[in-house]
């Protein structure tokens, strides 16, 4: 499967989020909750990086090597938009 490692990491993140929900329900110490949220954010960033790397090594490479200049521009524009969105977060 193409994204097997990403799926495994997402399942782990899902478990962490359930843990954070329990912490909030149990009125856990706020800083501990924030640290767990930060860990989930870091894990999601890692998954995003993994998927982007796969995209760069497959879809982007195919488009850049292809003959269609519109397709090249479209794929490059998508990459630009992803980074612009990430910078806003």
Question: Which one is predicted more confidently, 27 or 59?
Answer: 27
Full domain range(s) for residue 31: 4-88
Decide if pLDDT at 72 tops 80: yes
> pTM score, two decimals?
0.82
Decide if pLDDT at 11 tops 80: yes
Three-state SS for 27-86 is: CCCHHHHHHHHHHHHHHHHHHHHHHHHHHHHHHHHHHHHCCCHHHHHHHHHHHHHHHHHH
Decide if pLDDT at 64 tops 80: yes
Task: Write down the pLDDT at residue 1.
Answer: 67
Assign residue 17 the CATH number of its domain: 1.20.58.1000
Domains in the chain, number:
1
């Amino acid at each position: 499967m193409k994204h097997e490692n990403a799926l495994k990491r997402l399942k782990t993140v899902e478990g962490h989020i359930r843990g954070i929900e329990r912490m909030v329900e149990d009125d856990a110490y706020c800083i501990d909750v924030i640290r767990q949220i930060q860990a989930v954010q870091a894990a999601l960033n890692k998954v995003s990086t993994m998927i982007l790397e796969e995209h760069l090594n497959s879809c982007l490479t195919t488009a850049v090597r292809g003959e269609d200049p519109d397709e090249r521009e479209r794929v490059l524009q998508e990459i630009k938009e992803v980074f612009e969105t990430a910078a806003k977060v």
